Structure 1
Amino acid sequence: MKKDISIFEFPFNLGLTKKEHETEPGVKKLPDWLRKLGLHQKINPKNIFRLDGPEYAMDYDEETGVKNPYAIIEYAKKQSGLILKNYQKDTFHLMLGGDCSILIGSALALKQLGNYGLFYLDGHTDYIPPRLSPSGGVAGMDLAIVSGLGHEKLTNIDHLKPYFSEEHIFCLGNAETDDEEYVEQIQNSDIHYFDLYNLRKNGFRKTSEDFLKMVEEKNLDGFFIHFDVDVLNDKIMPAVDSRMEDGIDYNNLKDILQPLIENEKCFGMEITILDPDYDPNGEFTKPFVNNLIQILQ
């Protein structure tokens, strides 16, 4: 990569509902885990910034219909502030989560910088209102929230709604197509939606190129990539909170990400949901780190 890289660590897990066997979701350990397995050393970032998350809780809020909304809003504001204070032009900003709700803080920052597009690569759409969520976890609704669907307290922080316009969003990789009501939500939106079947049909690199064409045609100030590792095939990445069998492989990932990362309008990328507790020996994370390095170089 020609650009310098800055790493932002966001070890946050309040968007997830813990499983019965967990004391708390392990995704907050991801930045330290990736550092331990050599990501930071191999990337040699220009800067490393960090914002620790609050203690884990599962506080359901009747008004918003989600868990931990006030802690999530507070963290998103601090996260946005940290990004705005430390972002630099001609730098690739790599955000290490955390769960998917860290997208809200990234989105708040980008909205204040201009008109940005979002490339949303995820094994789920995360585009549902609270009434369709069995858990109330914001990590399963983050795409909805950043595009304006959900309670005003989350969708309209600092009167910035929507953080991304739906027509400037590509959502791709969803392998969970059996729940019709979930899928109908996004199909009835203005988001450019490619489930896993249509992503394969359209072509991995071509879908990214179609997105870049949209960025140019709309004259956007830039764009951001959300990469939830549960979009990867379960055989190569089972260390996630919501597993599905099907998914893309590392060659597909490279075809998708390289044209985006090489584009001058790419602000950066966030990585979410990889849970070190489900990969204690690094069996799946080590190949992940090696493939990520190849894509970023």
Structure 2
Amino acid sequence: MKRNIDIFEFPLNLGLRKKDHENEPGVKRLPDWFRKFDFHKEINPNHIFRLEAPDYLMEPDQESGVLNAETIIDYAQKQVDFISKNHQKNTFSIMLGGDCSILIGTALALKKLGNFGLFYLDGHTDFIPAHLSETSAAAGMDLAIITGTGHEKLTNIQGFRPYFLEENVYCAGNAETDDDEYVQQITNSDIHYFDLYELRKNGFGKTAEDFLKMVNSKALAGFFIHLDVDVLNDELMPAVDSRMEDGIDYDNLREILKPLVHSPLCFGIEITVLDPDHDKDGIYTQPFVKNLIQIIKNKED
């Protein structure tokens, strides 16, 4: 990658409902965990920025039906100011979560910069309203929220609804396809949707190229990549909040991400939901970090 790189650390875990055995979701330790395996050293960014997150809580919000809604909104608005203050033009930004709800703040920041596209690579669609969620957790609704589905207090922060237009979004990799009501939410939208079967059928590289053609044809200001590590096969990455057996492998990941990451229109990428508490020795994190570095730095094995 010829552009300068900055790393933004957003160790937020309020978008997840903690499991009974947890004190809190461990995804907040993702940035520090990556540093342990030399991600920051190998990427060698110009700057590392960090926005500390509030303490974990499980605060129901009756108005929106979303857990911790008020605190997530507050953090999202701080993200907007933080990104706006620190982002440099022509710099590739790597956002390290945290859970998927960190996308809300980034989406709002991008909306203020122009009309952007989104490539959403995730083992789930995260495109449901609160009343269909079993957990009421924002990390399972973030794609819906940023495209305008859900309560106005989350979808219309500062009056900028929607943060991404549905028709400018590719959602790819969903392996949770056995729930018809869940899948119908996104198939009834204007989002370009490729479940895991359709992604394999269309081709990983071709899907990325099709997205880039769309971005260019619409003359968008740029685009952003969301990568939830649960899109990977469970044998490769079980250290996630919601596990599923099927998923993509590292060859697939390289094929789909390289053309996106190295496009001059790519604002950056966010990495979410890798939980160090489920990978005590780093045996799953190390190959992921290695592959991600290779993709971003455009290195071969």
TM-score calculated relative to the size of structure 2: 0.98
Equivalence for 2:33:
33
1:202-217 aligned at under 5 Å gives the runs 202-217=202-217
Q: Report how far residue 16 of structure 1 moved.
A: 0.1
In the TM superposition, residue 271 of structure 1 has moved relative to its aligned partner by 0.3
What is the distance in 1 between the residues matched to 2:162 and 2:90?
26
Counting aligned pairs with the same residue, the percent is 68
Query: For residue 20 of structure 2, what is the amino acid of its counterpart?
Result: E
- The answer for the alignment partner of 1:89 in structure 2 is 89
Deviation at 1:171, TM superposition (A): 0.2
**Which SS does the other structure have where 1:125 is aligned?**
coil
Q: Which residue of 2 aligns with 1:74?
A: 74
Q: CA deviation at 1:193?
A: 0.1
RMSD: 0.4
Amino acid paired to 1:116: F
Rounded Cα–Cα distance in structure 2 between residues aligned with 1:36 and 1:10? 17
Q: Cα distance, 1:4 vs. partner?
A: 1.0
What per-residue deviation string (whole Å, max 9, x for no partner) do you get for residues 162-193 of structure 1?
Answer: 00000000000000000000000000000000
Match of 1:259 in 2: 259
Q: CA deviation at 1:59?
A: 0.6
Match of 1:137? 137
- Runs of 4+ with >6 A deviation: none
Structure 2 counterpart of 1:122: 122
1:61 is paired with a residue whose SS is coil
Where structure 2 has 5 or more consecutive residues not aligned to the other structure, the ranges are: none
Give the whole-Å Cα distance in 2 for the aligned partners of 1:255 and 1:86. Answer: 30
* 2:5 counterpart residue number: 5
**Amino acid paired to 1:264:** P
Counterpart of 1:196, as a letter, is L
Matched to 1:245, the amino acid is: E
Residue aligned with 2:215, SS:
helix
Query: SS at the partner of 1:117?
Result: strand
1:269 aligns to what? 269
User: How far apart, in 2, do the equivalents of 1:86 and 1:222 lie?
Assistant: 18
Describe the SS at the equivalent of 2:226: strand
In structure 2, the residue matched to 1:241 is: 241
Give 3-state SS (helix, strand or coil) of 2:238's partner. coil
Residues of 2 paired with 1:54 and 1:263: CA distance? 34
1:189-248 Cα offsets, whole Å, 9 max, x none, are 000000000000000000000000000111100000000000000000000010000000
The separation in 2 between residues aligned to 1:65 and 1:43, in whole angstroms, is: 39
Matched residue of 2:277: which SS? helix
One-letter identity of the residue aligned with 1:249: D
The size of the alignment, in residue pairs, is: 297
Deviation, structure 1 residue 55 = 0.6
